[in-house]
Amino acid sequence: MSKYPTGVENHGGTLRIWFIYQGARVRENLGVPDTPKNRKIAGELRTSVTYEIKTGTFNYASRFPSSPNLRRFGFIKPGVKLSEVAKNWLELKRMEITKNAHSRYVSYIKICTEIMGPDKPVSSFNNEDILKVRKELLTGYQICGIHQKNRSIKKGRTVRTVNVYMNCLGGLLRFAELNGYIEKSPMSGIDPLRKSRSDPDPLSKEEYQRFLDACPSEQIRNLWVLAINTGMRHGEISALAWEDIDTRDWTITISRNIAIKGYFTPPKTECGNRVINLTDAAIQALKSQMAYTRMGKQHEISVNLREFGRERIDQCTFVFVPRLTARNGMGGDWYAPGSFGATWNDILKRAGIRHRRAYESRHTYACWALSAGANPNFIASQMGHTSAQMVYNVYGKWMTDNNVDQMSILNANFSSDAPLMPQVASQQ
């Protein structure tokens, strides 16, 4: 068997060469089988590389365009298309985020790359190009087809949505920078657009009664009574099973959510795993719902856990079954995410109530609870927030309604004798 030329070695059955560049020993895999002929060719390549280094004519990116060492020495991978980098990033991102989040990332990046030009080299974009993308997302943009009739105008998006798109695009470009596709991310120095916070718009008690009177069926009525009186997320209601409900102490254990049709996950956050204490109205709604679904079919479902590739099996008799209220009898055995939001809009129209988003059911619970004097920490735990700070930030102005009541409590207690102070243990 022939010997290896200087600087040529076997690595896992294929050949690689090593050489000294900028004072460091580097290795480059050639990806060819270890044969006598290939050893000779590899030796000649290594000799050529060392000569170019010695004479100052060596171009690392040209010699080894796919080398992981390019980033190490400040080179970029030339001519890689934006769409190729996006595909790589999205595939690797799949292991970090939920399936629902990943599908949104795919949508955001698809739209951004359509505006930028997916076939352009990722290294060709500068800061001005990114600012133009942001402007077009905000004001609307045109995607051109080959023929005039294929041209389409996309409407502008809200500031909040544009910031989400730009944050996602920034992640892609940061990935490109860290992996040697570009020298520096063109997102540098671009701050999020300022946005005004939209206040919650809860139902009033009078509107709530009109809303219930306009519900088309008892099951739909029960669903919205539960939503408004617990503050549960709509995906949690869709995934709610009788196995989650304690009908003696009347609590609900939240451990499941549905964000994509047919795809169950844990709740949105770790704090979303919680036990909800039910109000009298919520209890009555569940008692009414028992007649419809409590003895229904039990389903075995897979819940995809946060750790990539892991899942658990739950036995679920779903509380709300759309098949029972579907006019054509073709509904499913549980609600898909967002599917019962249409009933909210229909009921508002029936009742002659000003339109709000269906998510205001959750805001209604929080605002009513604060107005009733409930502890913000308790409300946060019931709604699945990390801390009461979210409650203070979003619903703070509803807390001022209780100032008079709070002063009454203080006056009633402070008017009596001073409370006993904690005593320091006497020293022996």
**Residues annotated as part of the active site:** 233, 268, 362, 385, 395
Q: Which pairs with CB-CB distance under 8 Å and at least 24 residues apart come from 21-25?
A: 21/53, 21/58, 21/60, 21/73, 22/73
Can you give the C-alpha Rg of the chain in angstroms? 31
